[in-house]
Amino acid sequence: MASSLIGKVREYLPDEVNLVERAYEFAAQAHRGQRRKSGQLFLEHPLRTAMALADLRLDADTIAAALLHDVPEDCGITLKEIETKFNPRVAKLVDGVTKLNKLTSRVETEEIRSKLQAENLRKMLMATAEDLGVILIKLADRLDNMRSLGALPLDKRLTIAHETLEIYAPLAHRLGIWRIKWQLEDLAFRYLEPEQYHRVARLVAGKRVERESFINEISQILCQELDKASIKNKVFGRPKHIYSIYQKIDKYTAQGKDFNDIHDLFALRVLTNSVSDCYKALGVIHSLWHPIFEEFDDFIANPKDNGYSSLHTTVIYNTTTPLEIQIRTYDMHQVAEYGIAAHWRYKEGKADARFDKELAWVRQLVDWKEELDSEEFLESVKSDVLSDRVFVSTPKGEIKDLPKGATPLDFAFRVHTDLGYRCIGAKVNGKLKSLNYILKNGDVVEIIAGKKDRGPSLDWLNSELGYVKSSHARTKIRQWFKKQERGQCVATGKQIWDKEIKRLGINLNNVDKAISSFGYSNPDDLFFALGCGSLSVSQIALKLNTELESAQEGIGLLPTPARISPVGIKVLGVGDLLTRLANCCHPLPGDKIIGYITQGRGITVHNRNCLNIVNEMEKERLIPVEWGNVEQVYPVTVQVDAWDRVGLVRDISAIVAEEGVNLIGVNMAPQNDNLTSLDFTLEVKSAAQLAKIISKASVVWNVISVVRKGGTDVNPETSSGQ
């Protein structure tokens, strides 16, 4: 393997290959006799890591650092020695990767692990802002570690696989490195969902001959037509990989379709010599087959932020079969496969405007590090950078990518912070839209700006109103209020207190209770927090109601609630709160949930689609909540409608038992014509566990339907769950 690495580097860096040779010899000596948990020689890991980077045709320093990246931690060799034997940059790259390894190797509680993950990501992005080589080494390192993950205990395998799918694969995607991205996704998916992974793999294998025959037929037709048009070309199939196919199957299943309805498991890719030939090829394709114009994207005229350029079109073949086709030049193809690494070369002391633009999102995140704590930073990265994206444009055609679900307000803050502050309206595709309108791919967005001194509205921070999706926009809005004159914020906060608190049922003659509850020293501090947006009315009402309830319980005025879940539910911005699960909809871990502030009885947790919540008029009583550490069981009722027969209850009860779920009650209500309706009350751990039971029960002989009950009452204040 070493000779293959040296040979590959010599092909494109003949004058610098000596550095890589010396790094290999040094690493071989340092790791002599060491083996990994899989039994492999330790040296094989840095060699494979370096080979992956050589495949990206990276510089000699980065490849040398990849060979040496485990030497300080595992061999007791100092960074000073590495700097002396090689150069300062190699040592700095090794140092950056080593620090990341130390963070991820610590085993702590889940809460601490989450904070370490956030700090790890923060450090990695800070290092990337200085030198892209750090993150490229780390991605190659993670890819090789995923290939040998089976040697680790199950809990570590799952932790690493989850982190890979949540952080590293999206990072590779954000950098445009498709070749690494899809491998990380498939490997992580294999360990996280082994049954689903092998199911998809079998489905794909079963259709392989049919798909390849189809692609060969189409390719020959297209090649002939492009040749007739004197367009030099290369046409080949583009395979979709296991995880992406799984996501597509999931989407199709929700639409009532199955695997056989997925026609684009293999798409076509056309490579040409020039941009003009790309557009000529597009014309040929559209003359051959009918195009679906809604599926057309021109990423040549408007490249993505990671440098990706291509023409995307979907056509209908033989009147029924949709066919995806990507058209690009050979240079564009290199960028599409290798992303930013395809044209990145480290040049010390030399600025490169192109890469400054492509890495602007990294530097922006580094700027946030002083504004956000670790958990907020991790959430910002996940929602604003690593999440699914939507691509929209300015009226001048400049593409802006935003997190999926973004609004015109998110767009305004993405263009410029000041534009966000002055935003009073928006036009989408030439039509006026509300500021909480959810943008779609291809939308053209025009922001209507007001006077310069207008400033944002506090309503924009209310998550239930849906004005902003991105953490970036929320942060900037909060900053604006914090920067306003203290007197103005205090006055605003006082108005909010006088107007809203009483309406929420808080019966207090003064603010002393609120001041002590939140640790403020005087009323002005409390009003300032309210006025600048760092504290919400809902948080105050919730905290005061809970403390009042606790005090009343202490003197026996109120009964203890039937269900209290202080550990299983997290309430945004407030801790130690009394919470209970609504009996009207019986939310389960995995469901999307929302909190409802009651008068004097803490908060009740509902499903987001519960009719009580949908029809609730006092939206200010709603507060964001999420599932925390939920190691307990939850009661839920499942209604089974079926044709009655001997053994029906036995068969369904057996399915419940197979899933390790406790059955605590069965009620039967005979209907007409031998129909029966049975209510099974179960104690389950999550919505996912319940979904398995429903899925299996649905195929039992004579069963007509199986549904989860709940969510039909329409008065949250009087519901028995509150």
CB atoms within 10 A of CB 615: 11
In contact, 592 and 622? CB cutoff 8 Å: no
Residue with tokens 């905290």: 543
* Whole-Å CA distances, 529 to 126, 147, 421, 561: 31, 50, 19, 32
Cα separation, 121 vs 66, whole angstroms: 19
Q: Is 74 a catalytic residue?
A: yes
Cα separation, 508 vs 511, whole angstroms: 7
Cα separation, 218 vs 220, whole angstroms: 6
In contact, 466 and 407? CB cutoff 8 Å: yes
Which helix (H) or strand (E) segment holds residue 238: the answer is strand 233-239
Q: Is 625 left (phi over 0), alpha (psi -120 to 50) or beta?
A: beta
In contact, 308 and 279? CB cutoff 8 Å: no
CA nearest neighbour of 408 among 448, 353, 372: 448
Q: Is 264 a catalytic residue?
A: no
Residue type, 667: N
Query: What phi, psi does 118 have (nearest 5°)?
Result: -65, -45
Pairing of strands 579-581, 603-607: parallel
Residue type, 249: I
CA nearest neighbour of 337 among 135, 176, 183: 176
86, two tokens: 């090689």
In contact, 562 and 506? CB cutoff 8 Å: no
Which helix (H) or strand (E) segment holds residue 188: the answer is helix 178-192
Cα separation, 500 vs 698, whole angstroms: 48
In contact, 338 and 177? CB cutoff 8 Å: yes
Provide the H-helix boundaries in 231-339.
242-254, 275-288, 330-338
In contact, 340 and 132? CB cutoff 8 Å: yes
Residues sharing a CB contact under 8 Å with residue 630, sequence separation 6 or more, in sequence order: 567, 568, 589, 685, 686
505, two tokens: 């049922």
In contact, 662 and 700? CB cutoff 8 Å: no
First to last CA, the chain: 66
Provide the H-helix boundaries in 523-574.
523-532, 537-554
Residue with tokens 């990706």: 308
- Side-chain half-sphere exposure of 615, counting CA atoms within 13 A: 10
231, two tokens: 């367009």
Cα separation, 493 vs 520, whole angstroms: 14
Pairing of strands 321-329, 266-272: parallel
In contact, 43 and 28? CB cutoff 8 Å: yes
CA nearest neighbour of 455 among 494, 485, 493, 484: 484
Cα separation, 549 vs 627, whole angstroms: 23
In contact, 103 and 125? CB cutoff 8 Å: no
81, two tokens: 């020695």
Cα separation, 649 vs 702, whole angstroms: 11
Cα separation, 522 vs 608, whole angstroms: 37
Mapped onto helix, strand or coil, the DSSP state of residue 193 is coil
Catalytic-role residue among 55, 74, 446, 500: 74
Provide the 8-state DSSP code for 150: G
Catalytic-role residue among 73, 166, 401, 644: 73
Q: Which residues are catalytic?
A: 73-74
